[in-house]
Amino acid sequence: MQSVIRQRIEAVKHKSMTELKEQFRDLFGFDSGDTNYNNLRSRIVCRLQELYYGGLCEADIVFLNAVADKDPLANLKRPRRSPTVTGTKLFRVWKGKEYEVTVMSHGKYQLNGKKYKSLSAVARAITGTQWNGKKFFGVKN
């Protein structure tokens, strides 16, 4: 029986983006929105495993929600000032280290004396992976 889930997961690796979006819609009940191929594939595989093996039990969901409720980064609020106002300081703690980014003129950002063309580029410099910069710094819902 376990070979069935393995076959379904293996089949995901060979699907086109259009096929993946269709499968996502079937599994989740809504469109995937703008995403990349690897992200979509990973989400589908996780969902298939969840359906086959079972999801989180109610006690785990309650526990994780309680942890998230106590985490200030899990409940970010929009800043009062627009992040595009020159001089605005944006802060983010990542893996125990606090980062401060300054909004410069002409849509540039500065981190540790280095200028970046976007918040996404700053987030990538901090994490080493692709992020939506506004979401990373909590200035976009």
Residue 92 has phi, psi (to 5 degrees) of -155, 135
- pLDDT at residue number 76: 63
**pLDDT over threshold 70, residue 125:** yes
The CB density around residue 8, as the number of other CB atoms within 10 Å, is: 16
pLDDT for res 35: 87
Find the mean pLDDT for residues 112-117: 93
Average pLDDT score, the chain: 86
Per-residue pLDDT, averaged over 126-134, amounts to: 89
Q: pTM value?
A: 0.46
Beta strands at 109-111 and 97-103: parallel, antiparallel or unpaired:
antiparallel
Average pLDDT over residues 105-111: 89
In the three-class reduction of DSSP (H, G, I as helix; E, B as strand; rest coil), residue 131 is classed as coil
Residue type (1 letter), 139: V
The answer on pLDDT for 27 being more than 80 is yes
For residue 68, what pLDDT is reported?
A: 82
pLDDT > 70 in the chain, percent: 90
36-89 pLDDT, tens digit per residue, is 999 999 999 999 999 898 888 889 989 988 888 887 776 665 554 456 688 889
What pLDDT, on a 0 to 100 scale, did the predictor assign at position 110?
95
pLDDT at 114 over 80: yes
HSE toward the beta carbon, residue 105, CA cutoff 13 A: 0
Question: What is the C-alpha separation between 117 and 37, in angstroms, rounded?
Answer: 25
